Structure 1
Amino acid sequence: MAEPAVAEARRSLTGDAYAQLKAQILSNALAAGASYTEPEIAERLQMSRTPVREALIRLQSEGLLDLIPRRGARIAPLKVQDMREIYEILTALEPHAVAEIAARRPEAEDLAPLKAATEAMEAALTARDLDAWAAADDVFHRALLRLHGNARLCAITSTLFDRSHRARMMTLRLRDLPHKSTAEHRDILGALRRGEAERARQLFRAHRERSAKELLTLLDQLGLPQF
């Protein structure tokens, strides 16, 4: 009976290491392009090297870092072209998904997570809490894809959301308060509620195109590498 308990404890430690490291990468606490040895990371997390190593392997598979043999890990750098390609994919996928959801004429219960996320964005703006706003924005987009119901689409976009999140957090305080973005989410929610498939598609595409242009302009101003 001891061996299953040991295996479960190991999985728990690995999951904890993964969650902590991923959060630090997405928040830029672990800087894009920086390299860290396994002992440095283990000390940072106050954990042994085995669960840290397993967590690093998982994060590499998600494109958030590169493992360097006998040296540790290099956090994936932020590049303008990467963000351009990610937003091109999201601009193609998400408007199609939102139109299909609207065509099903979802019930109020189905839209409740999106409504709650929109209200959280509005409350965060009132409080001028940009971190809370970004978290609510992320919840909206992920909840939308879950509502669509295509598991593979959710998996693909979740990885893209993670990879773009660092850039969004880096530029969050370099732009005006996101009143326009918040209003766009409210408009998209309204189109979903009314079952207006083509309207929802158009609103979402315009939202993604505008936000992509804004992000890429700021990344250029920061002097991030293009490729």
Structure 2
Amino acid sequence: MLPTEKDAGSASMSQVSTSTERANQADVAYGRLKQLILDGTLPAGAQMLEQEAATRLEMSRTPVREAMVRLRQEGMVEIRPRHGMRVLPISASDMAEIYAVLTALEGTAAELVAQRGITPRQLAQLRGAVADMQTALERSDLKAWAAADEQFHLHLVRLSGNSRLIQMVGQLWDQAHRARMLTLQLRPTPSNSVKEHADLVDAIAAGDGPRARKVHEDHRRRAGTMLVDLLDRLGLNQL
């Protein structure tokens, strides 16, 4: 008996549902594996088999495999046949390259935000992140400072409205995150960071695009140089 149109429609809907569920599972696997890397649970050099990851995440191997492919595309892992994934290290030279690109992209974002204009609510978000950074430093809580700093940069880039820029910065930020967190307690207290961020917000509020770009690029260059010099000085060739 030939399938009816209704039967064909039901089959089609079932296929779409299955495909969507698989995609959602892959997103979940990707997010959870990525977080294990970013928080250092899976350090550089750590290996994880597909089945091992699937068991840990309590899901099938297919979404785990897809998640590993995404992580490879972002430069965070390499995939080895029959050995699953291996977390790639980040070297001082890697960080120099990453910060060079971040400086250019985020400088562009800062200029775009200033030129586009900013609402009082958006401005309050940026100023709130700066205030959180100041409060964290007063408590000598570097983890809280780093979290507030990250929120500031996320807000800034999103406000640019450039989807491709947002995506590229996100990938680079994830790669830099591990090095930033692993060296957090080793670097000098970021005393000037709050003022530099506040100066950037003032430039954005004034609608001064060129100044916003310069302030942010100068800040990023100093931060990148400090981090790379620290890695070299401590002999941390790979993280």
Q: TM-score, normalised by structure 2?
A: 0.84
The residue number in structure 2 matching 1:200 is 212
In the TM superposition, residue 117 of structure 1 has moved relative to its aligned partner by 2.0
Within-5 A mapping of 1:140-151: 140-151=152-163
Which blocks of at least 5 consecutive residues in structure 1 are unaligned? none
What does residue range 45-124 of structure 1 map to in structure 2 within 5 Å?
A: 45-124=57-136
- Give the CA deviation at 1:3: 4.9
Over 3 Å counting, the alpha-carbon distance change for 1:222 and 1:53 in structure 2 is farther
Pairing 1:40–2:78 present: no
Alignment correspondent of 2:8: none
SS at match of 1:123: helix
Q: Distance in 2 between matches of 1:96 and 1:175?
A: 27
Q: Measure how far apart 1:159 and its partner are.
A: 1.0
Greater CA drift, 72-81 or 135-144: 135-144
CA shift for structure 1 position 42:
2.7
Partners of 1:5 and 1:197 lie apart in 2 by 46
Q: Say which of 125, 138, 160 aligns to 1:126.
A: 138
Deviation at 1:177, TM superposition (A): 2.8
Shift of the alpha carbon at 1:206?
A: 1.4
What is the letter of the counterpart of residue 181 of structure 2?
Answer: M
CA shift at 1:188, angstroms?
A: 0.9
CA deviation after TM superposition for structure 1 residue 5, in Å: 4.4
Letter of the structure 2 residue corresponding to residue 49 of structure 1: R
**Secondary structure of the residue that 1:173 maps to in structure 2?**
coil
Q: CA deviation at 1:4?
A: 4.6
String of CA shifts for 1:181-211, please: whole Å, max 9, x gaps.
1221112111111223333222112101110
Instruction: Please state if 1:17 is matched with 2:21.
Output: no
Query: Once the two structures are superposed, what CA deviation does each residue of 1:68-94 show, in whole Å capped at 9, x if it has no partner?
Result: 111111111111111111111122222
- 8 Å contact from structure 1 (residues 108, 193) kept in 2: no
Return the alpha-carbon distance in structure 1 between the equivalents of residues 211 and 33 of structure 2. Answer: 40
User: In the alignment, residue 126 of structure 1 is paired with which amino acid?
Assistant: E
Q: Which amino acid aligns with 2:28?
A: D
d(CA) in 1 for partners of 2:56, 2:185: 27
Give the Cα–Cα distance (whole angstroms) in 1 for the partners of residues 130 and 114 of structure 2: 17
Paired residue secondary structure (1:63): coil
From the CA coordinates, give the structure whose radius of gyration is larger.
2
Structure 2 stretches of 5 or more lacking a match? 1-12
Amino acid at match of 1:58: R
Deviates more, 1:8-17 or 1:53-62: 8-17
The SS at the match of 1:31 is coil
TM-score between both structures, scaled by the size of structure 1: 0.88
CA–CA distance in structure 1, aligned partners of residues 108 and 127 of structure 2: 20
Aligned mates of 1:144, 1:65 — CA distance in 2: 28
Fraction of identical pairs, as percent: 46
1:159-170 equivalent positions in 2, closer than 5 A: 159-170=171-182
Matched to 2:30, the amino acid is Y
1:153 and 2:165 are equivalent in the alignment: yes
Instruction: Give the superposition deviation at 1:143.
Output: 1.6
Letter matched to residue 185 of structure 1: H
User: 2:116, 2:69 → 1: CA distance?
Assistant: 40
Aligned to 2:10: none
Q: Deviations over 1:70-124 (max 9, x none)?
A: 1111111111111111111122222233123223443323323322322222233
Shift of the 69–214 alpha-carbon distance from structure 1 to 2, 3 Å rule, reads same
